[in-house]
Amino acid sequence: MSDKDGFKVTPWAVEGEIDYDKLVQEFGTQLINDELLARIKRHTGDLHSMLKLKYFFSHRDFDWILDKYEKGEEFYLYTGRGPSGSIHLGHLMPWIFTKYLQDKFDAKLLFQITDDEKFLYHDSMSMDEISQHAYENILDIIAVGFDPEKTKILIDTKHIKHLYPIAIEIAKRITFSTVKAVFGFQNSTNIGMISFPAIQAAPCFLPSKIEGRQTPCLIPAAIDQDPYWRVTRDIAEKMGYYKPAQIHSKFLPGLGTRGKMSSSQPETAIFTTDDPELVEQKISNSFTGGQPTEELQRKLGANADICPVFWYLRYMFEEEKSSNERYVKCKSGGLLCHECKHDLIGPAKSYMIEFKRKREQAKNLVDKFIFED
């Protein structure tokens, strides 16, 4: 969306300090409220910390998905990955949450690899390079632990024959004016990028084709992808499909300056391929919400709200209660940054070592996860 509020969120750039409440207003989505959380909990038994802590904070029609689920209608999950680089924790978090939804609702999942879009978007990236990223990223996806019986990975250029007939139905209903307004495309935009929204929208309706009946679809993804679903929702019913529902996450803060964890600034992100020593080093060098000196910190307290170390611990490795205590202690000057970093380094290293092990195992599972042609 526009950067008139000092931040910018589009599928291709997330910049500035994001006011998520404003974003929800601008995008026209709904905040996840306590009533919805309580309703989710009735089905899941427990609430994932990413829900409790409002990392997943916004939605469109999640309540409708529950209506359908409560009537015994199965829904599909659909999410995706643009394979332009390595996977870092910021990418993993929505996938970990997606696995939670799959487990709790016994839902099938379509995972789209948008290699075509990355090729169309990046001037200098070759298709070979992107295919290599796609393979590596698929290992990460599998390592998250999705159910191989219920999860199918679609690679756009490989599985285009399943997407294209739906994509042209979609494309027929979207004009240049619309994608210009929604995605900011211009006359100088290439025609591949211009029509790509139809390819990203197609998996929303693939479940209905697979199942042979209208099938609800829920998309867990970071909120920067929302423009795609807005356009898709506008045309879904005209095409005889349900509107796809969404549940939106925030962005994981980077270890460097403010903004989302980003592959283009490798020192600010913890990658699944980083050695444990590098994970330790990156956390040790991380930006925090601390004061310039220990004396000042003891006196004024630090700012946990802007501190990536605090948020990593909270979202990934700490119970809500301990995290709340850490927050109070930090604010009041009772904690120094190196202590929090130390608390994060241990579990982060363990997590990444275990993840790398699963990632190795994933090499034998790729065929099982790939959508049947």
* Binding residues vs a second copy (CB under 8 A): 116, 119-120, 127, 157-161, 164-165, 167-169, 171-177, 179-180, 185-195, 197-198
| CA-closest candidate to residue 192, choices 124, 121, 248, 125 | 121
List b or e across 70-92, with b for residues whose CB sees 16 or more CB atoms inside 10 angstroms. Answer: eeeeebbbbbbbbbbbbbbbbbb
Nearer to a second copy, 127 or 328 (CB): 127
Contact 335, 107 (CB under 8 A): no
For residue 98, the minimal CB distance to a second copy (Å) is 27
Q: Which is nearer to a second copy, 35 or 372 (CB)?
A: 372
* Structural element, H or E, at residue 170: helix 156-171
DSSP-assigned letters across all residues of 97-128: HHHHHHHHHT-EEEEEE-HHHHHHH-TT--HH
* Closer CB to a second copy, 186 or 364, in the complex: 186
Q: Which is nearer to a second copy, 189 or 281 (CB)?
A: 189
**Could you give the maximum distance between any two Cα atoms of the chain, in Å?**
67
Q: Which is nearer to a second copy, 25 or 175 (CB)?
A: 175
Structure tokens at 329: 């202690």
The b-or-e profile of 337-352 (16+ CB within 10 A means b, else e) is: beebbebbbeebbebb
| Shortest reach from residue 170's CB to a second copy, in Å | 8
In the bound state with a second copy, the residue whose beta carbon lies nearer, of 166 and 221, is 166
- Which residue's CB is nearer to a second copy, number 112 or number 262? 112
* Cβ 349 vs Cβ 312: under 8 Å: no
Q: Least distance from C-beta 172 to a second copy, angstroms?
A: 5
Laid out side by side, the sheet with 217-222 consists of 30-31, 56-60, 245-249, 217-222, 76-81, 108-113, 151-155
H/E stretch holding 78: strand 76-81
Smallest separation (angstroms) from a second copy to the CB of 229: 16
- Least distance from C-beta 263 to a second copy, angstroms? 21
**Residue 193 CB, nearest approach to a second copy (Å):** 8
Minimal distance, residue 373 CB to a second copy, in Å: 9
